[in-house]
């Protein structure tokens, strides 16, 4: 399978603190990869390094074989190929639902308004928010906001979708609707990279699970390997702790 994103020897240092240490990691086309691990293990930082919201301190990131950390590489064009979904939704508060999904297409991809509207409506239907196109973000519930945020990212028709703990800021009863949408997207063959605390989701949907601990990838493998036969002691510890809580 063709590798879309390849991370090589990636490191990230905040001041004195080394958050990511020599990470090697890749995502292939059509693959769903879930990154799990305790808070502060660096999983969100890894995701944010991949779309350059954080500048890596060392190593390289290859996108379709091209090094995107190269100065000549255009960051903005690269970012349009990645759809990002944030923990805090980050919908544009001054735009309504439809406009949130159109603005990137019109301003960045230079699509016509009519085309952008059509694409936006298509993906708003996918997430089941097509009836709320005129609502402002503040009028929506958390789950609805996150579904719109997913539609906004999809409207850019990216190659890879990045999810940064998409359900962590939601009330428990709203987690289901967002996970349902993500499950449908995974089944449609979209390439997805998901940082999550939802172990059930990771186990059922992921093709591959990556466990991170203290800035390194401690273990990776199929969900069966990670959840049923973890080889590392710290993976076992982590799973014991989180599965007990649930």
Q: Which residues bind another protein (CB under 8 A)?
A: 51, 53, 55, 76-77, 79-80, 82, 84, 86, 88-95, 103-104, 107-109, 131-132, 135-136, 138-141, 149, 152-153, 156
Please give the Cα distance from 238 to 233 (Å, whole number).
9
Give me the least distance between CB of 180 and another protein, in Å please.
Answer: 18
Q: Would you list the DSSP string of 191-208? A: EEEEE-S-HHHHHHH-SE
Nearer to another protein, 64 or 90 (CB): 90
Nearer to another protein, 162 or 210 (CB): 162
Nearer to another protein, 79 or 208 (CB): 79
Please give the Cα distance from 67 to 228 (Å, whole number).
36
Q: Can you name the residues that pair with 34 across neighbouring β-strands?
A: 194, 209
Q: Which helix (H) or strand (E) holds 157?
A: none
Give ∠ CA 31-32-35 in degrees, rounded to 5: 130
Give me the least distance between CB of 163 and another protein, in Å please.
Answer: 12
Nearer to another protein, 157 or 220 (CB): 157
Nearer to another protein, 149 or 199 (CB): 149
Q: Can you name the residues that pair with 161 across neighbouring β-strands?
A: 83, 192
Give me the least distance between CB of 20 and another protein, in Å please.
Answer: 18
Give me the least distance between CB of 233 and another protein, in Å please.
Answer: 36
Q: How far is CA 74 from CA 30, 79, 87, 111, in A?
A: 24, 9, 26, 19
Which residues make Cβ contacts (< 8 Å) with residue 24, sequence separation at least 6?
7, 8, 9, 10, 217
User: What's the start-to-end Cα distance of the chain, in Å?
Assistant: 35
Nearer to another protein, 19 or 218 (CB): 19
Give me the least distance between CB of 118 and another protein, in Å please.
Answer: 18
Give me the least distance between CB of 162 and another protein, in Å please.
Answer: 9
If 0-12 CB within 10 Å is exposed, 13-18 middle and 19+ buried, where does residue 206 land?
buried
If 0-12 CB within 10 Å is exposed, 13-18 middle and 19+ buried, where does residue 19 land?
buried
Nearer to another protein, 84 or 199 (CB): 84
Give me the least distance between CB of 74 and another protein, in Å please.
Answer: 9
């Amino acid at each position: 399978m063709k590798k879309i994103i390849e991370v090589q020897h990636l490191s990230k240092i905040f001041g004195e603190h080394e958050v990511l240490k020599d990470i090697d990691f890749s995502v292939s086309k059509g693959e769903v990869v879930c990154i799990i691990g305790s808070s502060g293990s660096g999983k969100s930082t890894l995701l944010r390094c991949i779309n350059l919201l954080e500048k890596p301190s060392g190593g390289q990131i290859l996108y379709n074989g091209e090094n995107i950390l190269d100065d000549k590489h255009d960051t903005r064009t690269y970012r349009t190929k990645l759809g990002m979904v944030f923990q805090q939704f980050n919908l544009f508060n001054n735009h309504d639902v439809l406009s949130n999904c159109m603005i990137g297409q019109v301003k960045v991809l230079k699509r016509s308004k009519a085309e952008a509207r059509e694409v936006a409506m298509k993906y708003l239907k996918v997430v089941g928010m097509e009836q709320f196109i005129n609502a402002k973000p503040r009028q929506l519930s958390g789950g609805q906001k996150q579904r719109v945020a997913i539609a906004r990212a999809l409207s850019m028709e990216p190659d890879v979708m990045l999810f940064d703990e998409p359900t962590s800021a939601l009330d428990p009863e709203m987690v289901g609707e967002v996970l349902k949408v993500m499950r449908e997207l995974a089944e449609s063959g979209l390439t997805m990279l998901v940082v999550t605390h939802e172990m059930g989701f990771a186990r059922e949907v992921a093709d591959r699970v990556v466990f991170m601990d203290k800035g390194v990838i401690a273990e990776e493998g199929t969900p069966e390997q990670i959840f049923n036969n973890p080889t590392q002691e710290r993976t076992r510890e982590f799973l014991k702790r989180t599965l007990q809580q649930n």
